[in-house]
Amino acid sequence: MAGKSVTMLDELNPEVQKRLESAVLEIFSTADFHKASIRDVADQAGVSFTTIYKHFGSKEHLLFTFVNIWMKSLTDRIEDHLGGIEDLKEKLRKVFWLHLDYYERHEKLGRILFMTLPMKTWMADETFDQKKRVDLIIEVFREGQRQGIINPHVRGGNLLDFMLGFIQRTFFMWVIRGKKGCLADEANALFEMVWQGMVNPDLISYKNPPATTDAPRHH
């Protein structure tokens, strides 16, 4: 379905595409999803309602067509960076940083994904296609589990939820608190917190043996 969306988008005049993209980004990042409509997008983009409906059929399809395009840029960056990093921890650190950096530079997209769009909407919509990005990251977790570095008792999907959930909350509170500071600048410190929740607990126990509570003996 996502491939079909892109094909239908390509049928539109490039200038129309650009106006639609701008309107979708603005409207869905500032308005409640349930109140936003194709009519709103049509009015702001200067494109007829009939044209939009003919190509997309619903506001969900319209929105996710563009979301998938925007998120593909993040996926491509992740894929490029992972190919040049050997160390497992540094791979995940880079993935973490790339997400925060991308959402900070594309704040309106972050608002759509984490603030204005109900989770059940994008979870249920078949046009929302993030399989490649998900698979790339989960494979890093599985690689870490095979190496004994990542907690082997937690499923890859749950590890992904843990990390991306932390990123989502971080972005959300960054906006709520007035966007103070730079998200990307805080990425390393924040990642260390996340890392402690993903690393194999046996490694932590080995590196940090419990302190003895026995009183010293006097001879």
For residue 8, what is the domain's CATH number?
1.10.357.10
- Location of structure tokens 């190496």: 147
156 found inside a domain: yes
Residues 95, 140: contact at Cβ < 8 Å? Answer: yes
53 found inside a domain: yes
Handedness of CA 6, 160, 137, 28 (dihedral sign): positive
Instruction: Kindly give the confidence (pLDDT) of every residue in the chain, 219 residues in length, as a single tens digit, with 9 standing for 90 and above.
Output: 444 445 567 777 889 899 999 999 999 999 888 899 999 999 999 999 999 998 898 898 899 899 999 999 999 999 999 988 999 999 999 999 999 999 999 999 999 999 998 876 666 655 566 888 999 999 999 999 999 999 999 999 999 999 999 999 999 999 999 999 999 999 999 999 999 999 999 886 544 444 444 444 444
Structural domain tally of the chain? Answer: 1
214 found inside a domain: no
CA gap 140, 176 in Å, rounded: 31
Looking at residue 150, its amino acid is I
Alpha-carbon distance values, 59 to 62, 106, 121 (Å): 5, 21, 11
**Containing structural domain, residue 125:** 2-207
> Residue 125's closest CA among 40, 24, 57?
57
Beta bridge partners of 150: 199
213 found inside a domain: no
218 found inside a domain: no
The whole model's pTM is what?
A: 0.85
14 found inside a domain: yes
194 found inside a domain: yes
DSSP assigned state of 150? B
Segment 9-17 long-range contacts (CB within 8 Å, at least 24 positions apart):
9/55, 9/65, 9/69, 11/55, 12/51, 12/55, 16/45, 16/47, 16/51
139 found inside a domain: yes
